[in-house]
Structure 1
Amino acid sequence: MEKSSVFFSRNVERQAQIEICRSLQGVKVVKQGKYLGLPMIITKTNEQIFGFIRDKCQKTILNWRNTQLSQAEKEVLLKAVTMAMLTYAMSCFKLPVRLCKDVNSLIARFWWGEGKGKTKMHWVSWKKMTTAKKAGGLGFKDLQSFNKALLGKQIWRLLTCPNLLLSKVLRARYYPKTTLLSCELNGNALWIWKSLMSAREEVQRGARKQIENGKSTRIWEDAWMLEESKDDMEDAPLQWDGLQENGREY
């Protein structure tokens, strides 16, 4: 409990806050802050809140500019360090498009280098650089697609692990009487839920429901499979936007 804290919206009365904290063994009230490096509360100005990601990437790349690096060394640093810095945030939130473009520009400028204080010419487009190496590209991740893939992986986890605390909380809050793939998006939902819902369509295209007792299956709306087709799907990969997981049923 000493590591815990509670956040109240402005609609909760002061006396109610005191009583709740007292019932929680004196847990402290926290305002806007960060947990594991991410903001706890996302407001409408989400681009400003996620600006620390851009600043962190820019600071890291600036530290490398004073060193003589080959193209191979630059590739390793950009893929193993810079892009890895974004992975945790992209697993929880949908980053603003403007932020993704800014980080892509930082990576591209560092890759092509600078001469006499000016950025050198970019001989190929960023889209070509994000193409797989076997297709003639450089294998850099397209941040928007990678962001959507990571969020889709979280949706898949909610579907296949319904007994997790996170699954129970989100189900009670957003889809108590329906399913994750068919619930409607509430306009006043939290940013993390809106982020997850932005990747739902990609998961729906690859997911199939295994028929058991059939009580929760809508025969005309849900994508489902018969029991005898389970073995055929066992080794089939489920893919969306570059993310690949072993075929599973929910």
Structure 2
Amino acid sequence: MGKFLGIPEDISGSKCKLFAFLKDYLMYRVNGWTGRWLSKGGKQVMIKSILLALPTYVMSTFLLPLEICENLDSAIAQFWWSSNPPKKGIHLAKWEKVCLPKDEGGIGFRLIHEFNLALLAKQLWRLVQYPDSLVARVLKGRYYRMTSPLRAASARGPSYVWSSIFAARKLLLLGIRQKIHFGYEVKVWEDSWIPTTPARSATPVAPVMNPNMRVSDLINQESK
């Protein structure tokens, strides 16, 4: 099958074989720079501006297999630590530590798998923010007709696009909470509405008598 905007038209079969072209693209760029004597600063710019940007468009739509993510991380790490091309160089620290933010002692590179989940979580958030968009209406009619995308149950035989977006739901829920407004739509025991980090639902100290209790039931309607 062909490709449309750099994405394969047929998303079936082995996903590792399907997305192997990403590593080929990345290695083509890396091999073009291997013979050059780049400083660490030059390599840092190359990695952040080009290598980590190559798979961004695909990762914003599909969840890459862990094997592909590890292969991409390995290729970038090998390029970073190599000193005398084509020697591999000595890896002086774990790649996970190198990818930490600068204020935590790292350099600020991105781990491919975590970056992939972050991009997919952004797509899921767009479905919440823009429910009238074409893609949101299509997915709603198929996967969460009577609820929101954040509360949708796992579907039977879903498309790979929806499976990828659905995989980022846990990550998105770690960083959001319900707005109260009048409290009629916020469930006390289920929704994350208490502004802790991360947000959480109320914790009962006794058996819950009313599992569908809303936050509006806790508000004095006279004094607000």
TM range (shorter): 0.7 to 0.9
> Which position in structure 2 is the counterpart of 1:75?
44
TM-score by length of 1: 0.72
Instruction: State the aligned residue count.
Output: 199
- The range that moved more, 110-119 or 121-130, is 110-119
2:117 is the counterpart of 1:148:
yes
Q: Which residue matches 1:185?
A: 154
Task: Give 1:75-224 correspondences, 5 Å limit.
Answer: 75-113=44-82, 115=84, 117-211=86-180, 217-224=186-193
For 1:68 and 1:222, the matched residues in 2 are separated by: 54
C-alpha distance in 1 between matches for 2:34 and 2:2: 32
Quote the offset at 1:216 in angstroms.
Answer: 5.5
Contact 2:35 2:86 in 1 (8 A): no
| Equivalent of residue 30 in structure 2, options 61, 75, 99 | 61
Distance, in Å, in 2 between the alignment partners of 1:215 and 1:189 is 32
Could you tell me which residue of structure 2 aligns to residue 14 of structure 1?
none
The question of whether the paired residues in 2 share the 8 Å contact of 1:114 and 1:120 is answered with yes
- Pick which of 198-207 and 91-100 moved more: 198-207
* Aligned equivalents of 1:178, 1:116: Cα separation in 2: 55
Offset of 1:110 from its aligned partner? 1.0
- Partner residue in 1 for 2:9: 40
Q: Deviations over 1:44-78 (max 9, x none)?
A: 41111101101000111001112121111011001
Give 1:127's aligned amino acid.
E
Amino acid at match of 1:162: P
Deviation per CA, 1:25-59: give whole Å up to 9, x if none.
xxxxxxx4322101233214111110110100011
**1:112 touches 1:120 (CA, 8 Å); kept in 2?**
yes
Distance 1:116 1:57, change over 3 A: closer
The answer to whether the 8 Å contact 2:82/2:88 transfers is: yes
Amino acid aligned to 1:181: L
User: Does structure 2 retain, via aligned residues, the 8 Å contact 1:42–1:190?
Assistant: no
TM-score w.r.t. structure 2 length?
A: 0.80
Q: Distance in 1 between matches of 2:91 and 2:44?
A: 15
Letter in 1 for 2:92: W
Deviates more, 1:191-200 or 1:126-135: 126-135
Contact 2:23 2:68 in 1 (8 A): yes
Contact 2:63 2:164 in 1 (8 A): yes
The change in CA–CA distance for 1:207 and 1:49 in structure 2 (over 3 A counts) is: same
For 1:80-103, what per-residue CA distance to the aligned partner results, in whole angstroms no more than 9, with x for missing partners?
Answer: 001011111111111111111111
What stretches of structure 2 of length at least 5 have no aligned partner?
200-224
Deviation (angstroms), 1:201: 1.0
3-state SS in 2 of match to 1:168: helix
C-alpha distance 215-36 of structure 1, shift in aligned 2 (>3 A): farther
CA distance in 2, matches of 1:38, 1:195: 15
CA distance in 1, matches of 2:69, 2:178: 34
2:73 aligned partner, one-letter code: N
Q: Cα distance, 1:132 vs. partner? A: 1.4
Which has the larger share of strand?
A: 1
Structure 2 matches for 1:235-250, cutoff 5 A?
none
Superposed CA RMSD in Å reads 2.5
CA contact (8 A) 1:132 1:138 kept: yes
Deviation at 1:177, TM superposition (A): 1.6
